[in-house]
């Protein structure tokens, strides 16, 4: 283990967790220029034990992000390039017939690339639904079943899937039920000109920056456990519920864009995602409890892929993010209720 690794045994304190997370982000920042929101979303998923779907054009550093994260966390990682001919066994692993030195033959399980702490599922929408389903089942169950035998996947386990929003030819868009299994969906924006200059400077020189490991699997598991323990006030939970309820067009609290463009609102997983991301945000901020701000800040990434918008939205140029913004506007942060007071 490298000298910079913060070895913390459970239980760890929120302050330690915040410091470690900051160190992780700082190391990632050595390699990844900008994209701070994306890095934060990845960390949130890491602490909340969720998976993240990245949507962005190729070349924005998605693979580099996962590789850097793995090096920072000292965790094994794998990359799966999804193609139409990719089979489920190519992901989860398969049994192969092996012959021993004594000539005996036996079936041995050879793990697939999914058996890693960090998995990059690149262009996940290019695989067939069958293959997608196999991987998403592994994501949900955190285990693979081959030949009737279930094998747990290592913990922590983070799948970072990507999809290209531009090239739709020959793709198989992920069904809504499977999209729901991603804790967050992050948009990878094109870097600014200044950031791009920095990227060029870092990647075209003689020396390529590399991160130092600042964490290990045990510490990360302690951080995950701590995140789960963060208390959530009742009114924060209530606000998360109100936000999700407002995404349903048949609910009275739904704003007009929801009624016009949304066919199906977010599932209860949406509320779970809001709360878990809120906890992760609170931990990363060094706070001992979740606030409404944490929930609202998590809403776009946690809800945008859970809304099933109709073709009217596309025709009108309204995105899922616009709908989520409308929901946030329709369900404002609760006030004290005292006239004149905040």
Q: Which residues bind another protein (CB under 8 A)?
A: 11, 13-14, 229-231, 233-236, 282, 285, 287-294, 333-342
Beta carbon of residue 230, minimum distance to another protein (angstroms, whole number):
7
According to DSSP, residue 39 is labeled H
Beta carbon of residue 12, minimum distance to another protein (angstroms, whole number):
10
Pick between residue 291 and residue 318 the one whose CB is nearest to another protein: 291
CA distance 18 to 22: 6
Beta carbon of residue 339, minimum distance to another protein (angstroms, whole number):
5
- Within the chain, strands assigned E span 52-55, 77-81, 93-99, 105-111, 118-122, 143-146, 149-152, 158-163, 184-187, 262-264, 308-309
Pick between residue 116 and residue 331 the one whose CB is nearest to another protein: 331
Q: Of how many residues is the chain composed?
A: 342
Pick between residue 177 and residue 285 the one whose CB is nearest to another protein: 285
Beta carbon of residue 289, minimum distance to another protein (angstroms, whole number):
4
Q: Is the dihedral of CA 287, 289, 294, 299 positive or negative?
A: positive
According to DSSP, residue 204 is labeled S
3-state class (DSSP) for residue 269? helix
Beta carbon of residue 17, minimum distance to another protein (angstroms, whole number):
11
* Side-chain-side CA neighbours of residue 170 (13 Å): 6
- Residue located via tokens 């965790």: 75
- Residue located via tokens 């960390």: 43
Beta carbon of residue 22, minimum distance to another protein (angstroms, whole number):
18
Q: ∠ at Cα 113 (142, 188), nearest 5°?
A: 80
Pick between residue 104 and residue 336 the one whose CB is nearest to another protein: 336
Beta carbon of residue 326, minimum distance to another protein (angstroms, whole number):
22
Pick between residue 152 and residue 233 the one whose CB is nearest to another protein: 233
Pick between residue 19 and residue 30 the one whose CB is nearest to another protein: 19
CA distance 96 to 94: 6
Pick between residue 163 and residue 227 the one whose CB is nearest to another protein: 227
Give yes or no for a contact between 41 and 66, defined as CB atoms under 8 angstroms apart.
Answer: no
- Residue located via tokens 């995404």: 247
């Amino acid at each position: 283990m490298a000298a910079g690794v913060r070895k913390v045994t459970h239980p760890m304190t929120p302050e330690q967790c915040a410091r470690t997370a900051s160190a992780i982000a700082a190391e990632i920042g050595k390699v990844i220029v900008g994209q701070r929101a994306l890095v934060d979303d990845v960390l949130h998923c890491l602490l909340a034990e969720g998976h993240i779907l990245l949507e962005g054009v190729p070349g924005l550093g998605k693979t580099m992000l996962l590789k850097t994260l793995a090096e920072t966390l000292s965790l094994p990682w794998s990359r799966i390039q999804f193609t139409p001919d990719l089979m489920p066994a190519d992901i989860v692993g398969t049994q192969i017939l092996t012959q021993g030195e004594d000539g005996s033959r036996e079936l041995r399980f050879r793990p697939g690339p999914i058996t890693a702490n960090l998995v990059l599922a690149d262009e996940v929408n290019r695989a067939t639904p069958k293959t997608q389903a196999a991987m998403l089942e592994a994501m949900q169950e955190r285990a693979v079943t081959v030949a009737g035998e279930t094998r747990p996947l290592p913990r922590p386990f983070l799948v970072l899937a990507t999809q290209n929003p531009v090239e739709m030819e020959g793709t198989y868009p992920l069904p809504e039920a499977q999209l729901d299994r991603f804790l967050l969906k992050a948009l990878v924006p094109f870097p600014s000109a200044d950031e791009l200059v920095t990227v060029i400077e870092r990647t075209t020189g003689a020396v390529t920056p590399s991160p130092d490991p600042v964490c290990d699997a045990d510490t990360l598991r302690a951080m995950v456990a701590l995140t789960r323990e963060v208390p959530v006030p009742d009114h924060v939970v209530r606000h998360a519920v109100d936000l999700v309820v407002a995404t349903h067009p048949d609910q009275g609290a739904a704003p007009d864009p929801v009624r016009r463009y949304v066919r199906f609102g977010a599932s209860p997983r949406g509320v779970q995602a809001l709360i878990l991301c809120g906890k992760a945000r609170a931990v990363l901020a060094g706070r001992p409890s979740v606030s409404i701000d944490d929930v609202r800040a998590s809403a776009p990434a946690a809800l945008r892929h859970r809304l099933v918008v109709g073709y009217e939205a596309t025709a009108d140029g309204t995105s899922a993010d616009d709908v989520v913004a409308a929901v946030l506007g329709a369900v404002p942060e609760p006030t004290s209720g005292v006239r004149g007071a905040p």
